[in-house]
Amino acid sequence: MSQQFTYNLGNLPLVWTEDTKYLGVIIQSDLKFDQHIKSKCSKSRKILGGIKHLMYSTPKEAKLLAYTSLCRPILEYADAVWATTNKNTIQCIELVQNDAIRFISNMRERGKSVSEARNQLGIKSLKDRRKSHRLCLLIRTFQNEEKHYSLSEAYDEINQDRENITITTRRASRGELNSVTTNIYHNSFLPRTIRDIRGHTTKTQ
């Protein structure tokens, strides 16, 4: 067990906690977002259940609008921050949208393709949307670079790192201690989004 120190705010000792909510996002001490994702999936399912109950006989367009305006934003809240790489978690999130697609498209037979129905509705997978949100956030950040100087410096350092931005960080490669596990670093916002940008550039060339 790692050593814990006592910190004070004025004369008030701060209490250690395994997780806390900040701006609506549950942040865990291990820097994972399992609890946040579980909470959002549960809440969005309840909203979707209400939509199904109230809009059972409404046109497809109305059902789609209700889902994209009332349910999907819950699943995507702050997703640029917590975007998961865990396959089981990704599937768990997509199952909520798949359920909505079946309802919107009046799919009563489980054998039919949800992916095809999603394409017909013009809806992207939530995984693809999270990737777009991360790319857009990075672009918007550098459009106002003066207010995000430290992030710009970090971007430059990571971007000049090893060609494939491997799990080993620059600090680790110099033999210095790293304060986070390599997997957490590797899948954090900047390294992951830079890899996405490079992948996108390669595909479009």
- Most distant CA pair in the chain: distance in Å? 64
Tokens 């000049």, located at residue: 160
Antiparallel, parallel or unpaired: β 19-22 and 12-13: unpaired
What Cα–Cα distance (Å) separates residue 49 from each residue in 54, 71, 96? 9, 10, 11
pLDDT (tens, 9 = 90+) of the chain, 205 residues, equals 456 678 888 888 888 888 889 899 998 888 888 899 999 999 999 999 999 999 999 999 999 999 999 999 999 999 988 888 888 889 999 999 999 999 999 987 666 789 999 999 999 999 999 989 988 888 877 777 666 666 666 666 655 655 444 444 444 444 443 444 567 767 777 777 777 776 654 454 4
Amino acid 170: pLDDT: 42
Full-model pTM = 0.74
C-alpha–C-alpha distance, residues 121 and 171, integer Å: 46
pLDDT at 123: 93
